Amino acid sequence: MSIRIAAVVGARPEFVQVGTLARAFPAYTGRIDPILIHTGQHYDANMSQDFFDRLGLPRPDHTLGVGSGGQGVQTGQMLALLDPLLQELEPDVVIVFGDTNSTLAGALAAAKLHIPVAHVESGLRSFNLRMPEEVNRRLTDHMASILFCPSPNAVANLASEGITDGIHLTGDVMFESLQHTLALVGDGRTVLDSFGLVPGSYALATVHRSENTDDPERLSQIVLGLADVGADGLEVIFPVHPRTRQRLDRGLAASGVRMIDPVGHPEAMALARDAAVVLTDSGGLQKETYWLGTPCVTMRDETEWVETVEAGWNRLAGADRNAILQATRFMTAGNLPERVALYGEGTKVSHAILDALIEDLERMEKAS
């Protein structure tokens, strides 16, 4: 039995995750027939094309070209384009990743056509329904029939919402992707030299969550906090997300922070690996810094990746100028505990996901 898998992706974390699965596809030749659908949610060259060109991702079989737009408009456009495409392709399963608008649109389009939905990175919860990502992941989990969880906490979150069937505790495919990416940049000296940086002498900052970029007060507090870190003696390197750049151009830019254009994923990982600390509101980067052995300050009020906080390598600072500075000082004081393996670190999560996917679909076929 060859299973036709339609993978719907549209944003950076999904490119990374599907790329890891794609590198495992050759081991399943004859058993799966993968189809890659790119919604176009991320269309900036450094956020989309760079991943396909440099990380060895397969070219999308179908590109929807949705582009930017409000949450509802963007999701609606994806649905309008995915519905006829999925009817034409007739996949056995639609697999989605994470918590973006592409995730929700892929799951909803499939569910309405009675196509099984598989969700990678299932069960994560921030418990903040003001976050569009929280809405996306919750709805997706309740439409999915096959759910791949990165941690026991994720499994428990699903159980608390009455979801107990079709769950697989696999770990997170991002660790495998990180190892692949680090092999591309080697020791990272070329990356650091291009910015005139010395390992351990700088902080890396990223800000892109709409809860921060769309709120002038939160964004102002974050930028002032980053400036305080710079004034405290630790240079802040800030690759500016396009959404954030629009807001900063209105006068929120801070002196003492070196704002640079977005960098490719390999460069970002090299910068994160050699930073003294990473300050971010990203979800994926919280995990990556943990695996890299770099302390993290999360500029949000909560996190889905609670294990990194419990392990002592991540500290929540919210969007508070003073808390950002104090958390940075604490995380760079040299008192970090020993790291423990999290999220399937060191295992072949990609194979665990594909094995479970095939097994579940074959069982569904026999039961139908």
What's the CA gap between 155 and 149, in Å, rounded? Answer: 6
Q: Can you give the pLDDT at residue 45?
A: 44
Closest CA to 278 of 317, 321, 335: 317
Say if 129 falls within a structural domain: yes
Please say if the pLDDT value at position 250 is more than 90: no
User: Are residue 215 and residue 161 in the same domain, yes or no?
Assistant: no
What's the CA gap between 198 and 111, in Å, rounded? Answer: 50
- Enclosing domain of residue 322: 183-331
CATH code of the domain containing 26:
3.40.50.2000
Say if 296 falls within a structural domain: yes
User: Are residue 10 and residue 138 in the same domain, yes or no?
Assistant: yes
Q: Average pLDDT, stretch 12-35? A: 93
CA 64 to chain CA centroid, Å, is 21
Please say if the pLDDT value at position 358 is more than 60: yes
Say if 12 falls within a structural domain: yes
Whether the CB-CB separation of 280 and 207 falls below 8 Å is answered with yes
What's the CA gap between 334 and 331, in Å, rounded? Answer: 7
Tokens describing residue 176: 């495998």
Q: Which range among 40-54, 249-263, 318-332 shows the weakest confidence by mean pLDDT?
A: 40-54
Domain count, the chain: 2
User: Are residue 129 and residue 44 in the same domain, yes or no?
Assistant: yes
On the 0-12 / 13-18 / 19+ scale of CB atoms within 10 A, 163 is middle
User: Are residue 197 and residue 167 in the same domain, yes or no?
Assistant: no
Closest CA to 4 of 44, 45, 37: 37
For the chain, the three-class secondary structure string (H helix, E strand, C coil) is CCEEEEEEECCHHHHHHHHHHHHHHHHHECCEEEEEEECCCCCCCCCCHHHHHHCCCCCCCEECCCCCCCHHHHHHHHHHHHHHHHHHHCCCEEEEECCCHHHHHHHHHHHHCCCCEEEECCCCCCCCCCCHHHHHHHHHHHHCCEEEECCHHHHHHHHHCCCCCCEEECCCCHHHHHHHHHHHHCCCHHHHHHCCCCCCCEEEEECCCHHHHCCHHHHHHHHHHHHHHHHCCCEEEEECCHHHHHHHHHHHCCCCEEEECCCCHHHHHHHHHHCCEEEECCCHHHHHHHHHCCCEEECCCCCCCHHHHHCCCEEECCCCHHHHHHHHHHHCCCCCCCCCCCCCCCCCHHHHHHHHHHHHHHHHHHHC
What's the CA gap between 7 and 37, in Å, rounded? Answer: 6
Say if 178 falls within a structural domain: no
User: Are residue 297 and residue 209 in the same domain, yes or no?
Assistant: yes
pLDDT range class, residue 54, cuts 50, 70, 90: low
User: Are residue 211 and residue 268 in the same domain, yes or no?
Assistant: yes
Say if 94 falls within a structural domain: yes
Closest CA to 75 of 114, 107, 37: 107
User: Are residue 136 and residue 195 in the same domain, yes or no?
Assistant: no
Please say if the pLDDT value at position 249 is more than 70: no
C-alpha pair distances (Å), 339 with each of 34, 150, 280, 289: 36, 17, 20, 12
Which residues lie below 8 Å from residue 169, measured CB to CB, with a gap of 6+?
149, 151, 152, 154, 155
Q: Can you give the pLDDT at residue 46?
A: 46
What's the CA gap between 294 and 271, in Å, rounded? Answer: 10
Say if 339 falls within a structural domain: no
User: Are residue 293 and residue 355 in the same domain, yes or no?
Assistant: no
Tokens describing residue 6: 């339609």
User: Are residue 285 and residue 214 in the same domain, yes or no?
Assistant: yes
What's the CA gap between 234 and 212, in Å, rounded? Answer: 23
Please say if the pLDDT value at position 2 is more than 50: yes
Task: Please write the tens of the pLDDT for every residue from 343-357.
Answer: 999 889 999 999 999
Angle at which helices 174-185 and 284-292 pack, to 10 degrees? 60
Say if 338 falls within a structural domain: no
Query: What is the residue whose two structure tokens read 């929280």?
Result: 134
Q: 237 phi and psi, to 5 degrees?
A: -100, 120
Catalytic residues: 208
User: Are residue 164 and residue 189 in the same domain, yes or no?
Assistant: no
Q: Average pLDDT, stretch 190-213? A: 93
User: Are residue 148 and residue 259 in the same domain, yes or no?
Assistant: no
Task: Please write the tens of the pLDDT for every residue from 269-310.
Answer: 999 999 999 999 999 999 999 999 999 999 999 999 999 999
C-alpha pair distances (Å), 291 with each of 140, 141, 349: 27, 26, 15
Mean pLDDT of the chain: 91
User: Are residue 166 and residue 239 in the same domain, yes or no?
Assistant: no
